Structure 1
Amino acid sequence: MTEGNFVDYVKMHVSSGNGGKGSAHLHREKYIQKGGPDGGDGGRGGHIILRGNSNLWTLIHLKFKRHFKAGHGAHGSSGRSTGADGEDIYIDVPLGTVVRDSETDAVLFEITEDGEEKIVVEGGMGGRGNWHFKSSVNQTPRYAQPGMPLEEKDITLELKILADVGLVGFPNAGKSTLLSVLTSAKPKIADYEFTTLKPNLGIVEYRDFQSFVMADIPGIIEGAAEGKGLGYYFLRHIERNSILLFLIPADAKDIVEQYEILEDELRRYNPEMLDKERLICVSKSDMLDDELKSEIATILDKDLKSEYLFISSVAQQGLTELKDKLWKMLND
């Protein structure tokens, strides 16, 4: 998926349908001059329904269609005939979509399962026909209920991508290069910071035709939890990953310090993210000789509690071991 096709934030206006009016009809036939009330009920207005679709990975199909309006319920008629319900509108969204009220910013619900359906705005109820109001006191009511009015709402759709492994690191740490080597994804790669502006997804093929999904997430900078840099726009994507793969380049001034900054940004954004399983990879390790690797390993053994690996995407070093480790973590 190219970066330009990945849309993870959409605002839209949704409107349900009015309920149909109940009928105030009185029964009439050739030899029945004064038949009783037989007005039918009005039909229900159409709903706007969001539906999870596991075949979608982005909200791009909603980027240029921002208004959705459901059908109105038909009016009731004679012979106690109920009017037809208004047409429901179904909007397919990828799994991991969070729906917010644009005015209050309150979360309405989340779509996390394929085929899951949630009503955003309900259609108005149809009004009851006059035969409902017949009584011994009033045998020919000449009134019926009007339908309930439609409901309108401005909503915001935010996508938090669902991936097995999320790549976490500073800009230019080699995340996109690793994704391009392990998967068929073609992320933009260059030797400057913030090459990746939107998440990229790739499928890592493993043994026996098995696979798992990896997400390359734009680089974190210090202060991201407060919205600095790309801030909230990418931190939310890390929430839904099963495993966090921290990528720190071998030429970093202080590998432990970089890891602690990354960890602190995640903690400040959402402390629950630190409960996820994690693995640390020292990338670009083809620049290190055995002596330097040994020195770094001694420091990491002393200061880090998490497991770590030395890898190089360009030199194809340690990648098989990395896939084996990730697969084991995902299945344990």
Structure 2
Amino acid sequence: MADSNFIDYVKFCSRSGAGGAGSVHFRREKHVPKGGPDGGDGGRGGNIILRGNAQHWTLLHLKYKKHVIAEDGKGGEGGRRKGRDGEDIILEVPLGTVAKDAETMEPRFEITENGQEVILTPGGRGGLGNDHFKTATNQAPHYAQPGEPGIEEWIVLELKLLADVGLVGFPNAGKSTLLSSISAAKPEIGDYPFTTLVPNLGVIPYRNDRSFVMADIPGIIEGAAEGKGLGLRFLRHIERNSILLFMIPADTESISAQYKILLGELGKYNPELLDKKRLLAITKADMLDDELMTQMMEDVPDELPSLFISSVSQFNLDRLKDMLWQAIIDG
């Protein structure tokens, strides 16, 4: 899929339908010339609803919807006939979509399950007909309620990818190469920074027909939490990953220093990310011998489960999948 087809942010005006007016009507039949009030209620205005759809992975289909307008409810009629409700508008969104108020950017809710439906902008209630307002002292009320107006508001939808494992690293750490090596995903791969401009998802096959989902997230740079580079735009995707696999190339000057920088960027963006389970893959290790690996392990934080790998030579990739699977089932 082309880079331009991955859309994880949309903003639009959401306008629900107004409720229909209640009816002022009196029963008039051949033998009932002065019947009582029988005005029906107005119909409810249409809602704007978000529905989770596991077949969607981007908000591309909503990119050009700048105004979403639901139908107004119809007015009530005589004979206590209720007006028709306005038709709802249902917007299907990928799992991991968060709805926010565009002015305050306060989150309202998130869609995490296939088929889950949540009302984004509720329609106005229909007005009550005059049948509801008769009393002992007023047998013929000549008024009914108007319908409630609809709501017009600006909404932001943000997508946070749902994956079991999120890859965290600087550009050129080998994230895309790993994903292409162990899944059917085919991200763009190159030897220059920011080859990956959009997140890529891959399903990783595992033993006994099991599988898990891995997200290749565009590389973080130092200062990403302050908006530098591409990192800030995609840091939110890491929030949905249950396991974070840090990837640092073997030819880096200091593994521990680079790990601390990556960890610091995540913590500045969202301190809760530091509570996630973390693993370390030291990439591009096909040219290392055992003695050099042993020396380099002294520069790896003791509390961090780590493994030397090479996506090109397939070195230790099965062991890496074992480590990831164990981390996933351990929760």
Give the superposition deviation at 1:71: 1.2
Contact (CA 8 Å) 1:21, 1:126: kept in 2 or not?
yes
Contact (CA 8 Å) 2:39, 2:76: kept in 1 or not?
yes
Partner of 1:223: 223
CA distance in 1, matches of 2:207, 2:288: 29
CA deviation vs aligned residue, 1:275-295 (integer Å, no higher than 9, x gap): 111110100001223332121
CA deviation vs aligned residue, 1:87-113 (integer Å, no higher than 9, x gap): 111111111111111112111111122
Give the superposition deviation at 1:21: 0.8
CA distance in 2, matches of 1:272, 1:18: 41
CA distance in 2, matches of 1:81, 1:107: 39
**TM-score, length-scaled by structure 1:** 0.97
CA deviation vs aligned residue, 1:210-244 (integer Å, no higher than 9, x gap): 10000000111111111111232111111110100
Instruction: Give the RMSD, CA atoms, in angstroms.
Output: 1.2
Partner of 1:179: 179
Structure 2 unmatched ranges of 5 or more: none
Partner of 1:312: 310
Partner of 1:246: 246
CA deviation vs aligned residue, 1:154-209 (integer Å, no higher than 9, x gap): 10000010100000000111100000101111111111001111100000011111
Moved more, 58-67 or 79-88: 58-67
CA distance in 2, matches of 1:298, 1:146: 75
CA deviation vs aligned residue, 1:226-273 (integer Å, no higher than 9, x gap): 111123211111111010000000111111100111011111111111
Give the superposition deviation at 1:15: 0.8
Contact (CA 8 Å) 2:38, 2:79: kept in 1 or not?
yes
Give the superposition deviation at 1:115: 2.0
CA distance in 2, matches of 1:133, 1:272: 55
Contact (CA 8 Å) 1:123, 1:151: kept in 2 or not?
yes
Alignment partner of 1:124 is 2:124: yes
Matches within 5 A, 1:102-121: 102-121=102-121
Contact (CA 8 Å) 1:95, 1:111: kept in 2 or not?
yes
Matches within 5 A, 1:79-158: 79-158=79-158
CA distance in 1, matches of 2:293, 2:269: 33
**TM-score, length-scaled by structure 2:** 0.97
Contact (CA 8 Å) 2:254, 2:299: kept in 1 or not?
no
Give SS of 2:120's match: strand
Partner of 1:168: 168
Alignment partner of 1:329 is 2:321: no
Matches within 5 A, 1:263-274: 263-274=263-274
CA distance in 2, matches of 1:3, 1:322: 28
Give SS of 1:268's match: helix
Amino acid at match of 1:324: D
Alignment partner of 1:70 is 2:70: yes
CA deviation vs aligned residue, 1:105-143 (integer Å, no higher than 9, x gap): 111111122222211111111111111111121111111
Partner of 1:39: 39
Give the superposition deviation at 1:31: 2.0
Contact (CA 8 Å) 2:15, 2:153: kept in 1 or not?
yes
CA distance in 2, matches of 1:307, 1:138: 80
Give SS of 1:100's match: strand
Contact (CA 8 Å) 2:219, 2:231: kept in 1 or not?
no
Runs of 4 or more, structure 1, over 6 Å off, are: none
CA distance in 1, matches of 2:222, 2:287: 26
Contact (CA 8 Å) 2:26, 2:78: kept in 1 or not?
yes
Give the superposition deviation at 1:58: 1.3
Give the superposition deviation at 1:52: 1.5
Give the superposition deviation at 1:4: 3.0
Paired residues, what number? Answer: 330
CA deviation vs aligned residue, 1:48-75 (integer Å, no higher than 9, x gap): 0111122221111212223211111111
Give SS of 1:299's match: coil
Amino acid at match of 1:330: I
Partner of 1:208: 208
Report the identity percentage.
63
Give the superposition deviation at 1:2: 4.4
CA distance in 2, matches of 1:306, 1:216: 20
CA distance in 1, matches of 2:282, 2:114: 36
Indicate how the Cα distance of structure 1 residues 136 and 289 shifts in structure 2: closer, same or farther if over 3 A, else same. Answer: same
CA distance in 1, matches of 2:44, 2:297: 67
